[in-house]
């Protein structure tokens, strides 16, 4: 480990105490203005004593803010110009109650790219700014969290965790930063999962994204002899049961691979290339047996590979619904739609 990696993170600091009182609020608002449009609704006296400490966690940023409390009413709204499309998780309140108890905190979620309008006079704030790219497929779930996160065991764990971060980030080293960020990401993903309706939508989004990724992989590897359900599971890193579920409405993953190979064969045979043979096309697309390839081709398209080759060489390529396919009228539209899934 290098000496730099072993050093504690060097935070960004802002303190308004050295600024003339009549300029303190504007200085603070300018400093934090990248996240929200802020206005001062009311203040009992001039001056705005603010102290901020911000740690860079690479794809996250954590801020501890001490601000004027009661009477200093501030309004936060999403930026109308050039908003930042991240999330901000806020823990607001005070660390100790006036009676010397454990304190009172409220956990809030604020998608900075969506409209929000919030008024606060909280004297202490812990803010976690999170890059949206950290949660592909979970955007809907996090966007759908209530602005005031409902009190629950998990919400309290998140609130406690943010306070632990505030106490311990001064000791976190550069070498430990990645682990802290990942631990925080996992906890936020669990918070998203606590919203059942949003999570269901997120899971559908994840499935569609994963299926699109697998489809791209299939199209890019049609000539690979080992392109199979087992090979896809290894390449993409998912279980066979999940793979089968993702392609169930497309007739199954093996049928999808076969269909894409046949569509690629039709495209290749339709090109006006006199040197291209049916055998070479079948071999290039990993069909192991020419007779079974020809039989499957004709069953799907209604004409033989040789018919497609001859028509392509003559500059009049055949479409799947132009010959024998017309004899199976109930399948015409379905065949056309499936051809669009290339």
Listed by start position, the domains of the chain span 3-194, 202-339
pLDDT band at 103 (very low <50, low <70, confident <90, very high): low
Query: Cα separations (Å) of 234 from 227, 278, 336?
Result: 10, 31, 32
Q: What does the alpha-carbon distance between residue 245 and residue 91 come to, in Å, rounded to a whole number? A: 40
* CA-based nearest residue to 94, from 118, 120, 125: 125
Q: What does the alpha-carbon distance between residue 140 and residue 114 come to, in Å, rounded to a whole number? A: 12
Q: What does the alpha-carbon distance between residue 119 and residue 8 come to, in Å, rounded to a whole number? A: 35
pLDDT > 50? residue 236? yes
Starting from the edge strand earliest in sequence, which strands make up the sheet with 124-131, in order? 12-15, 51-56, 60-66, 124-131, 86-94, 104-111
For residues 83, 89, 93, 97, the Cα torsion angle rounded to the nearest 10 degrees is: -170
With vertex at residue 182, the alpha carbon angle to CA 177 and CA 188, rounded to the nearest 5 degrees, is: 125
pLDDT band at 312 (very low <50, low <70, confident <90, very high): confident
- To the question of pTM greater than 0.75 for the whole model, the response is no
Is the distance from CB of 252 to CB of 244 less than 8 angstroms?
Answer: yes
Is the distance from CB of 52 to CB of 31 less than 8 angstroms?
Answer: yes
Over residues 39-62, the mean pLDDT reads: 90
Task: State percent of the chain over pLDDT 70.
Answer: 86
- 106-129 pLDDT, tens digit per residue, is 899 998 888 889 899 999 999 999
pLDDT > 80? residue 43? yes
pLDDT > 70? residue 320? no
- As assigned by CATH, the class of the 202-339 domain is mainly alpha
Question: Tell me, what's the pLDDT at 102?
Answer: 46
Name which residue leads in pLDDT, 295 or 102. 295
CA-based torsion, 76, 77, 81, 86: positive or negative: positive
pLDDT > 60? residue 241? yes
Query: Tokens 């050039």 correspond to what residue?
Result: 82
pLDDT band at 67 (very low <50, low <70, confident <90, very high): very high
- 218-230 pLDDT, tens digit per residue, is 989 999 988 988 8
E strand map for 114-202:
117-120, 124-131
pLDDT > 50? residue 341? no
Q: What does the alpha-carbon distance between residue 340 and residue 319 come to, in Å, rounded to a whole number? A: 12
pLDDT band at 288 (very low <50, low <70, confident <90, very high): confident
Over residues 251-273, the mean pLDDT reads: 88
Q: What does the alpha-carbon distance between residue 223 and residue 264 come to, in Å, rounded to a whole number? A: 10
pLDDT > 90? residue 285? yes
* CA-based nearest residue to 296, from 336, 329, 240, 254: 254
Which DSSP letter does residue 288 get? S
Q: Roughly what angle, to the nearest 10 degrees, separates helices 290-301 and 305-313?
A: 80
pLDDT > 90? residue 238? no
pLDDT > 90? residue 18? yes
pLDDT band at 322 (very low <50, low <70, confident <90, very high): very low
pLDDT band at 330 (very low <50, low <70, confident <90, very high): very low
Question: Tell me, what's the pLDDT at 338?
Answer: 38
What are the residues whose beta carbons fall under 8 Å from the beta carbon of 220, sequence distance 6 or more?
A: none
**Could you write out the DSSP letters of every residue in 70-110?**
TT-EEEEE--SSS---EEEEEEEEESS-TTSSS-EEEEEEE
E strand map for the chain:
12-15, 37-42, 51-56, 60-66, 73-77, 86-94, 104-111, 117-120, 124-131
Question: Tell me, what's the pLDDT at 204?
Answer: 63
pLDDT > 90? residue 64? yes
Question: Tell me, what's the pLDDT at 51?
Answer: 95
Q: What does the alpha-carbon distance between residue 288 and residue 53 come to, in Å, rounded to a whole number? A: 65
pLDDT > 60? residue 173? yes
Instruction: Provide the token pair at 252.
Output: 């199954």
pLDDT > 50? residue 56? yes
Compute the mean pLDDT over every residue in the chain, rounded to the nearest whole number: 82
Query: Cα separations (Å) of 332 from 266, 296, 324, 336, 338?
Result: 17, 17, 10, 6, 10
């Amino acid at each position: 480990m290098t000496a730099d990696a072993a050093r504690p993170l060097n935070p960004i600091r802002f303190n308004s105490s050295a600024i003339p009182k009549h300029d303190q609020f504007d200085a603070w608002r300018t400093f934090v203005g990248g996240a929200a449009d802020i206005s001062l609704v009311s203040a009992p006296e001039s001056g705005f004593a603010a102290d901020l400490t911000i740690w860079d966690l690479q794809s996250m940023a954590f801020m501890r803010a001490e601000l004027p409390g009661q009477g200093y009413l501030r309004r936060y709204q999403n930026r109308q110009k050039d908003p930042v499309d991240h999330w901000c998780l806020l823990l607001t309140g005070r660390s100790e109650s006036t009676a010397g108890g454990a304190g009172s905190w409220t956990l809030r979620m604020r998608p900075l790219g969506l409209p929000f309008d919030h008024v606060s006079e909280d004297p202490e704030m812990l803010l976690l700014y999170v890059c949206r790219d950290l949660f592909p497929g979970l955007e809907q779930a996090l966007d759908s969290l209530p602005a005031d996160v409902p009190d629950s065991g998990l919400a309290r764990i998140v609130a406690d965790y943010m306070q632990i971060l505030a106490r311990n980030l001064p000791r976190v080293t550069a070498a430990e930063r990645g682990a802290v960020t990942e631990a925080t990401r996992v906890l936020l993903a669990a918070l998203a999962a606590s919203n059942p309706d949003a999570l269901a939508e997120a899971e559908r989004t994840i499935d569609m994204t994963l299926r699109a990724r697998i489809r791209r992989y299939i199209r890019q590897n049609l000539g690979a002899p080992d392109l199979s359900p087992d090979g896809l599971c290894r390449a993409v890193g998912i279980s066979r049961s999940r793979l089968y579920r993702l392609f169930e409405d497309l007739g199954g993953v093996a049928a999808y691979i076969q269909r894409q190979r046949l569509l690629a064969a039709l495209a290749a045979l339709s090109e006006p290339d006199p040197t291209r043979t049916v055998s070479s096309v079948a071999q290039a697309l990993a069909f192991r047996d020419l007779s079974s390839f020809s039989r499957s081709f004709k069953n799907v398209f209604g004409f033989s590979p040789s018919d497609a080759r001859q028509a392509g060489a003559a500059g009049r390529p055949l479409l799947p619904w132009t010959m024998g396919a017309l004899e199976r009228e109930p399948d015409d539209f379905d065949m056309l739609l499936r051809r669009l899934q290339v």
